[in-house]
Amino acid sequence: MDDMNESPDGGPGLRRACDQCRLRKIRCNKESPCSNCRTANRQCSSTGVGQKPKEPRQRVLISSQYERKIDHFESRLGGIESLLRDLTTSISHGHHSQGADRSMSYNSSSYGDIRDTPAMGGGADLSSTVFSGQDDDDPTPEFEGNSSLAAQTAMASQLVENAVTQSALGVTNPNMQSALLSLKQIVQMQTSQHTKEIRFPNARPMPRGGIRELPMPPMSLVIGLLREIKDTPPLTFTLIAAFITIEEFTENCRKVYFATEDYSLATFILVNAGLTYLFMEKAMAATDTRSAELLKYHYTCRDNLETALSNLPLLMPARMETIKALLLGASYAVEIAKLTLAWHLNTSAALMCQALGYHRLPVNFTDSPSPSSSSTPSTNNAPSTTTDAINDTKSGLFWFTYMLDKGLSLRFGRSSVIQDYDITLPKAISPQMNLSDPWKVVLNLWILQAELTGKVYEHLYSPSALSKPLETRVIAARQLAEDIKVLARESELLNKRVKEEEERTNQDKNHNPSFYTMDVVLKSDEVWYWSSLALVYRTIPANNDLGISSNGYSLNMECLDAARNAIVTHHESMKLTEGSRFTQAAYLHWTLIYAPFAPFIVLFCNVIETSDLEDLRRMSEFVDSLAPVCSISEAIDKLHRVCQVLYNVAQLYVEAKSQQLQDQDMTMVNNDFDMYLSQLGFISGVPHDSNGGGDSANGFGNNNNNNNNNLVGNWFSGNRTILGLVEADLSEFEPRGWASGAT
């Protein structure tokens, strides 16, 4: 019975209790034979009958997947720690919120009666802040336009679970498997809007003493900076803060640095926003040693700005200063690609502008603002001049708000806050505004761009537009395309005049920062023109004016040409700004993320449909152009990751499509790709017809009009989904591990 001393798997090991003792439930000494069996003169055997067999242990695989999960857990724990710190701080200031239960109406009649609460003491009476960072419960998903994709997502999530394992190729080709899994994640993120990080990343808890205890740059440094900008106005007050004069900014700095009385949170925001941009502008032109010091104070003011914006009260007084603070905050939010925050801030500014009547003609307005025709009866010229200056500021504030409102409206697929039929102001910056003539022309072009942007959404992509007959939308698209071309020609004329001025003054962009900035702005505008044309032409079906092509997703050549020209112009912009990564980041934030950059998705859809290798190359070059800026912009890094996924998906899709006739597994994988892409609105959800052509290929029968409208709406929603991922939590979305291995 020596074999009983071996373990069941054949090796030496501990002997089990014998079968007889186990059956009688008595103690066994586990000898061979055991004492009980010897006493009873029974045969002692230990076969393990009735016992659960020992299961082999599995090896623990420490792969990149587990490392990502561990990193994700660490990130979540860090977030919990931050929440606890914020909670502790908020509890310690709880006594400041006793007045929060007061009943206050939020309408135009009482809007201006809310008094501004100074923020020196560490909290406003209306302590419910706009951007508190996190909530205890998962927030309700935000609405981003009407889309038929949401109804399909539940079915898609059930189908995608088994998609990768349906074919042997998913096992033998890990890149194909990863591509399908990445598409699955994007589809799931489409309705998971609560994953957006609706917070300012560098905001700090408010000190007990309020904003007065936040660190500021040295007074001597700021005074020197103010003296410099008085002699040489910086570009900051030409573009971002054109509605704020240098004298006004200097006075606000005096209020903060020489605080003889309490100052408002809006004043603190104006000062830190201005200093944030000024220190960055000076750092870009300084030597390495000086630049490091200026960047240090830039980050100090940036943190102060984000902290102050995060502590804005829910209800604020409708005052000019408040509107300026909100506008600077919204512009800054676009700069850091926090577009949801920009929407909230700019919406508040728009409501205040309307409540104060900034969108209407002032009573003393004349149609001829030139000096020769402005001789209106007046007994006192000084008050008239002051009134004119105030009216110019009001109109400037309104038009900056209008521009952001229309751009964000199209970006999010929502109706704008400001409606064109409610405006009586002339669509132009006041000639008396303290700007050089070329910049006035640029701002006037931007106002017209914003107007066209609003019309693109209203007449082509809004639910109302998508319910109209196809003929109506095609006519509207043609008209909008012509209007965009008119603006593009005006921009070309301005660019020509600027070049002539450079030659006349014998200065180039390397010696005159204003010329360089103008070149960057005009080149960015050119990208906008081509991108907008691609978005407009996307709504016009291919092959004929009113019908649709074989599968409803074919792109007309005008759309493809506009998209390709946009990519070319984008590369020119990146080359123009290659001397400064910060300038490149600003260009990318305003031109690719703030404006819905459609050309990349247009090329992606064309590659999926036609396997165009040249467009595939263009996609690759576009992805590569984003890589150098990823290190300084989290949003660009996310956009780069998503575009890298789409490029590799297109590359692998072309591979699967070229082999599907010879390989049944490839046909199955191709169908898997089609399922995900249809959920994103990039291709038709109708299965491929292997015979090609005929009515079965388009799958629309006699309902071409309605189906084309649905396809365009779905495509627009899918494009917004891709761009919206720059604000999403992508901690579990990491395609770099497989992207380099795509073949």
Residue 743, pLDDT > 60, answer no
At residue 357 the predicted structure's pLDDT band, cuts being 50, 70 and 90, is very high
Residue 672, pLDDT > 80, answer no
Distance of CA 537 to the CA centre of its chain: 24
Residue 36: what pLDDT? 86
Residue 446: what pLDDT? 94
**What average pLDDT does the segment 287-294 reach?**
82
What pLDDT, in 10s, does the model give residues 444-462?
999 999 999 999 999 998 8
Residue 343, pLDDT > 90, answer yes
Nearest to 310 by CA among 142, 517, 90: 90
**What average pLDDT does the segment 389-394 reach?**
84
Q: Measure Cα distances from 53 to 49, 521, 549 in Å.
A: 9, 74, 64
Q: Is 6 helix (H, G, I), strand (E, B) or coil?
A: strand
* Alpha-carbon gap, residue 571 to 617, rounded angstroms: 14
Torsion of Cα atoms, 674 then 677 then 679 then 680, to 10°: -170
**What average pLDDT does the segment 319-341 reach?**
92
Least confident of 355-364, 607-616, 682-691: 682-691
* Alpha-carbon gap, residue 108 to 102, rounded angstroms: 18
- How many CB atoms are located within 10 Å of the residue 578 CB? 11
Question: Residue 313 pairs with which residues in a beta bridge?
Answer: 129
Nearest to 242 by CA among 280, 274, 282: 274
Residue 652: what pLDDT? 80
Percent of the chain scoring above 90 in pLDDT: 28
Query: For the chain, what is the mean pLDDT?
Result: 73
Q: Which amino acid is at 499?
A: K
Residue 102, pLDDT > 70, answer no
At residue 361 the predicted structure's pLDDT band, cuts being 50, 70 and 90, is confident
Q: What is the DSSP string of 280-346?
A: HHHHHHS-HHHHHHHHHHHHHHHHHHHHHHHT-BSS----HHHHHHHHHHHHHHHHTT-HHHHHHHH
Long-range contacts, stretch 464-470, CB < 8 angstroms, 24+ apart: 466/146, 466/709, 466/710, 466/712, 466/713, 467/709, 468/709, 469/705, 470/541, 470/546, 470/704, 470/705, 470/708, 470/709
Rounded to 10 deg, the angle between the 513-537 and 599-610 helix axes is 40
Torsion of Cα atoms, 449 then 453 then 454 then 455, to 10°: 100
Least confident of 134-143, 304-313, 614-623: 134-143
Distance of CA 613 to the CA centre of its chain: 29
Nearest to 359 by CA among 403, 406, 424, 405: 424
Q: Is 63 helix (H, G, I), strand (E, B) or coil?
A: coil
**What average pLDDT does the segment 560-569 reach?**
95
Q: Is 12 helix (H, G, I), strand (E, B) or coil?
A: strand
What pLDDT, in 10s, does the model give residues 397-446?
999 999 999 999 998 888 999 999 999 999 888 777 777 788 889 999 99
Give phi and psi for 653, each to the nearest 5.
Answer: -65, -45
Residue 10, pLDDT > 50, answer no
Residue 151: what pLDDT? 32
Give phi and psi for 380, each to the nearest 5.
Answer: -145, 110
At residue 342 the predicted structure's pLDDT band, cuts being 50, 70 and 90, is very high
Contact 450, 528 (CB under 8 A): no
Residue 558, pLDDT > 80, answer yes
Residue 164: what pLDDT? 36
Q: Tell which wins on pLDDT, 575 or 8.
A: 575
* Alpha-carbon gap, residue 110 to 72, rounded angstroms: 47
Residue 716, pLDDT > 80, answer no
Q: Tell which wins on pLDDT, 111 or 657.
A: 657
At residue 197 the predicted structure's pLDDT band, cuts being 50, 70 and 90, is low
Residue 284, pLDDT > 90, answer no
Terminal Cα-to-Cα distance of the chain (whole angstroms):
62
Q: Tell which wins on pLDDT, 240 or 113.
A: 240
Give phi and psi for 739, each to the nearest 5.
Answer: -60, -40
Least confident of 40-49, 66-75, 561-570, 646-655: 66-75
Residue 134: what pLDDT? 45
At residue 126 the predicted structure's pLDDT band, cuts being 50, 70 and 90, is very low
- Pick from 196-210, 247-261, 578-592 the range whose average pLDDT is largest: 247-261
Q: What angle do CA 533, 327, 628 make, to 5 degrees?
A: 55
Residue 332, pLDDT > 50, answer yes
Tokens of 737: 């591990």
Least confident of 31-35, 187-191, 600-604: 187-191
What pLDDT, in 10s, does the model give residues 642-671?
888 888 888 887 887 777 545 555 454 455
Residue 518: what pLDDT? 87
Tokens of 409: 């409206």
Beta strand extents in 75-233 (DSSP E only): none
Q: Which amino acid is at 275?
A: L
Rounded to 10 deg, the angle between the 599-610 and 704-724 helix axes is 120
Question: Residue 12 pairs with which residues in a beta bridge?
Answer: 6
* Residues 6 or more apart whose Cβ sits within 8 Å of residue 524: 573, 587, 590, 591
At residue 62 the predicted structure's pLDDT band, cuts being 50, 70 and 90, is low
- The sign of the CA dihedral 393, 254, 300, 309 is negative
- How many CB atoms are located within 10 Å of the residue 7 CB? 13
Q: Tell which wins on pLDDT, 143 or 85.
A: 85
* Alpha-carbon gap, residue 309 to 118, rounded angstroms: 14
Q: Tell which wins on pLDDT, 231 or 625.
A: 625
Percent of the chain scoring above 70 in pLDDT: 61
Q: Tell which wins on pLDDT, 734 or 301.
A: 301
* Alpha-carbon gap, residue 348 to 318, rounded angstroms: 9
What pLDDT, in 10s, does the model give residues 505-529?
766 555 567 788 888 999 999 999 9
Contact 211, 325 (CB under 8 A): no
Question: Residue 6 pairs with which residues in a beta bridge?
Answer: 12
Least confident of 283-297, 382-396, 627-641: 382-396
Q: Which residue has the tokens 């990823």?
A: 630
